[in-house]
């Protein structure tokens, strides 16, 4: 039974406990997909230079990017990011409108500075 990491199996080299893909515990499937969507030499170098905590986080990031690329080969992570930004902007716009309408209905002696800020913020969004 082989205890080598997928990268060492692929390259036909001996595997050491501190080899980058052994440190990150990549399975064969995760490794193959990472190789498919990334420059594997670059990923190996990156894994080598990171701390144990960073390696775990980096692996999660790579696997998430692989998943996005698998589900949407053209858009990938960028499309997911664009959707999130758009959703935040929409919600922010709705919050500003709610705040604007609330302040518009308040009496004149209320905080004019905050009211003017929200009016300016809404004008910027329109
Ligand atoms: Zn290895």
**Angstrom distance (rounded) from CA 97 to CA 19:** 55
Please give the mean pLDDT across all residues of the chain.
Answer: 89
Q: Given a cut of 70, is residue 77 above it in pLDDT? A: yes
Angle, CA of 61, 55 and 39, to the nearest 5°: 60
Q: What residues have a C-beta under 5 A from ligand 1, the ion?
A: 5, 8, 15, 19, 22
Q: Report d(CA 107, CA 123) in Å as an integer.
A: 21
Domain boundaries, given as residue ranges, for the chain? 6-71, 77-125
Q: Label residue 84 by pLDDT band (50, 70, 90).
A: very high
The confidence band for 120, taking pLDDT boundaries of 50, 70 and 90, is: confident
Q: State pLDDT tens for residues 10-48.
A: 999 999 888 999 999 999 999 999 999 999 999 999 999
CA of 21 to the centre of ligand 1 (A): 6
Token pair for residue 79? 């499309």
- The CA 6 to ligand 1 mean position distance, Å, reads 7
The answer to whether 65 and 78 have CB atoms below 8 angstroms apart is no
Q: How far apart are CA 114 and CA 34, in angstroms?
A: 50
Asked whether the predicted pLDDT for residue 126 surpasses 80, the reply is no
C-alpha 11 to ligand 1 mean position (Å): 9
- What pLDDT does residue 107 have? 59
Model's pTM, two decimal places?
Answer: 0.69
Element spanning 44, H or E = helix 40-49
State in Å: Cα 48 to ligand 1 middle: 11
66 CA from centroid of ligand 1 (Å): 21
């Amino acid at each position: 039974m082989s205890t080598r990491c997928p990268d060492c199996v692929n390259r036909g080299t001996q595997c050491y406990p501190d080899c980058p893909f052994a440190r990150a515990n990549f399975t064969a499937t995760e490794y193959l997909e990472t190789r498919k969507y990334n420059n594997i030499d670059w990923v190996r170098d990156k894994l080598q230079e990171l701390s144990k905590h960073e390696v775990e986080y980096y692996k999660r990031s790579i696997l998430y990017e692989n998943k996005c690329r698998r589900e949407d080969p053209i858009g990938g992570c960028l499309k997911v990011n664009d959707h999130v930004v758009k959703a935040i902007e929409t919600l922010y716009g709705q919050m500003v409108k709610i705040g604007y309408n609330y302040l518009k209905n308040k009496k004149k002696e209320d905080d004019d500075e905050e009211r003017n800020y929200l009016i300016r913020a809404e004008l910027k969004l329109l």
